[in-house]
Amino acid sequence: MFEEREIITLLLGVAVLAFILWRRKELNDLPHINILLIGYSAFLAGWLFTVAESLLWHDALNVLEHLSIAAGSVFLLAWCRKISAAGKRFTL
C-alpha cells in the first residue's frame, strides 16, 4: 500500500530534479557541484526505492532505500566540508 507522503516526497524530488536540469548552467557556478548532485541523486534514488518497495521486493528495496539515503548524507557532508574548507563565499 502506498503512503501519500512518500509519493509526494518523490514527486517533489522529481520536480527539484527538473529544476536542476533546467538551471544547470547557473548551478555549475557552485563549487564542487558534482558532489552535491551525486548526493541529491542518491536521495532521489532512496525516495524512489521507498515508493517501489510497496510494490515488490520489500526487504531488498528497503535496504537499498536506507543505503541510498546514507550515501546521500555522506555526499552532502563531503560537499559541506569542501565548500567550508575553501573559505569562499558564493551566490547564485
- Count the domains in the chain: 1
Residue 46 lies in a domain: yes
The answer to whether residue 17 is domain-embedded is yes
Is 91 among the domain residues?
no
Residue 92 domain flag: no
Within 10 Å of residue 16's Cβ, how many Cβ atoms?
13
Residue pLDDT, tens place only, 39-62: 999 999 999 999 998 889 888 899
Residue 26 lies in a domain: yes
Q: Given the C-alpha cell 555522506, which residue does it identify?
A: 74
* Distance (Å, whole) CA 46 – CA 63: 10
Look up the pTM and report it.
0.84
pLDDT in tens, 54-90: 889 888 899 999 999 999 999 999 999 988 876 666 5
Give residue 51's domain range.
Answer: 4-86
